[in-house]
Amino acid sequence: MARYTRIHLGPARRNDPQVREALAGADITPGCLIVLSSGEFVLAGASTVGKVWIAQENYLAQKGVDVAYTDGEDTVLGLEMEDDTHYAARIANGVNITAVGTALTAAANGTLGIASTSDLVVAYSDEIYNNTSGATQLIRIRPAASASYLSAAS
């Protein structure tokens, strides 16, 4: 069962969140980082360069945060991440967030991992959580100021 029931955690204001829709180019679970590739959303990876979104739950089809979009069949709702907003994002099993404010980077399969000094920081944790669940889990994050666009390290 999911620790959160929504991906966009707030605050609610203006016309947020800004959403882009595109066909699923892979099986995508809400809370994963995604990128556009040939007009389809695919999972972001550790070497991702360019604009990233976070996959929102498919509330239009009344599906929760643990129901994945199907490759080639579903239209993915991609949230444009803003640095003044909280989101629930996926971390892999075995990731241990020991402090609020831990720097996070894009890792494999659209998940977040703990950033090293040479990694691009995508977000910061907003909670402490040790994922020993055996599966990816949602944690509360706040995107880094430049999280919407990743660029190669210089």
pTM of the predicted model as reported, rounded to 2 decimal places = 0.86
User: If DSSP codes are grouped into helix, strand and coil, which group holds residue 26?
Assistant: coil
What is residue 154's predicted lDDT score, i.e. its pLDDT?
35
| Rounded distance between C-alpha atoms, residue 5 and residue 97, angstroms | 20
Residue pair 29/4 in contact (Cβ under 8 Å)? The answer is no
How far, in Å, CA of 2 to CA of 66, rounded? 7
Domain made up of 8-147: CATH architecture: Beta Barrel (2.40)
Condensed to tens digits (0 to 9), the pLDDT of residues 40-89 reads 999 999 888 778 899 999 888 889 999 999 999 999 999 999 888 899 99
Beta bridge partners of 141: 87, 125
Q: Which of 43, 52, 44 is nearest to 20 (CA)?
A: 52
Q: What tokens does 1 get?
A: 């069962």
Check if the beta carbon of residue 33 is closer than 8 Å to that of residue 53. yes
Domain residue ranges in the chain: 8-147
Contact 7, 88 (CB under 8 A): yes
Q: What is the pLDDT of residues 12-50, one digit of tens each?
A: 666 667 899 999 999 999 999 999 999 999 999 988 877
- Measured distance CA(89)–CA(43) in Å, rounded: 13
